[in-house]
Amino acid sequence: MKQKRRDPEDVLEEELLGEVHFEIAEDAFRGPYTCHKRKTKRIRKMMQYKGLQYPYEVWQCPICKKEFLDFYQSPKLELFWMLQKLLDENVITLERNINYDGKTFFIRFPKDITKKWKKHGKAAIKILTPTKLLIEVKE
């Protein structure tokens, strides 16, 4: 009788045998990478969107042309994708009241958003225009 294969994510807690410890090398996510037993080559690419140009580099396999992003390029590309979402107004938007206590303006954030924030963390506020701000909570 053939046993049905299970998805690896469907493992039950009682089936776990123990913990596995491993170390990730400091340069594990830096190129060049290996694909088809060959080293990938760094190539420059350009992405354009609504008049914005974003130059970036990828590691490309000389055989299959598969592209790999390294540790340094992937956050930059993610930022470009966020800008695309902003330009398309394809982002979740919350309307909140702005309060003033006589000295400072402040905005309250919903608990669902702030539950993983540090109690005394920092935020980087990027001023796009006097009325448009981009807030990044630092960890």
Q: What gap in Å lies between CA 83 and CA 137, rounded to an integer?
A: 17
Q: What gap in Å lies between CA 38 and CA 34, rounded to an integer?
A: 5
Domain range list for the chain = 27-138
Q: How far is CA 58 from CA 40, 43, 71, in A?
A: 9, 6, 11
- How many other C-beta atoms are found inside a 10 Å radius of the C-beta of residue 14? 5
Mean pLDDT per 10-residue interval, the chain, length 139 residues: 66 74 74 89 88 87 90 82 81 88 92 87 88 85
Q: State the pLDDT at residue 2.
A: 61
Structure-token match 């009682």, residue found: 14
- In the numeric block, which tokens belong to residue 95? 């309307």
